[in-house]
Amino acid sequence: MQALLETTDWPYANHIYLLDGDKLVAYIKHGTTEPFYFKSPIKGFSKSRRTFKPVALDLFDTSRQQANDMIREVLGSKGDTYFVNLDELTCTCPGYTFRGTCKHVKELETA
């Protein structure tokens, strides 16, 4: 997981973005420390015409740890990696996106 602080000089607030490779997993809104995790990671996060600097994730240890306690990484039947949010009972897999439920959520909910 990589954290990038946007440093673009523009009239908008710059946030911290949490990436897993080229997938945007979450962001931390300017002025807060609580990450907002997306139901499905956003693929192909574009950095064009914007500037960023790496940030150590341990700066947000408390809120990050609380958020990470609620997020579980699971392996799909075809080898893909998905994320289950135990607090919201959501998953990033196609099955959850299509049906609103999936085996990953059910398995972790009963565990």
Considering only CA atoms, give the Rg of the chain. Answer: 15
- The structural domain count of the chain equals 1
H or E element in which residue 71 lies:
strand 71-75
Confidence (pLDDT) at 62: 47
Q: What one-letter code names the amino acid at 14?
A: N
> What is the pLDDT, as a whole number, of residue 55?
87
SS3 string, 3-61, reads EEEECCCCCCCCCEEEEECCEEEEEECCCCCCEEEEEEEEECCCCCCCCEEEECHHHHH
Domain that holds residue 76: 2-110
Looking at residue 34, what is its pLDDT?
A: 81
Q: What is the pLDDT of residue 92?
A: 87
CB-based contact 35:18 (threshold 8 Å): yes
pLDDT in tens, the chain (111 residues): 789 999 999 998 999 999 988 899 999 888 887 888 888 889 988 889 999 999 886 645 545 455 567 788 888 888 888 888 888 888 888 888 788 889 999 998 877
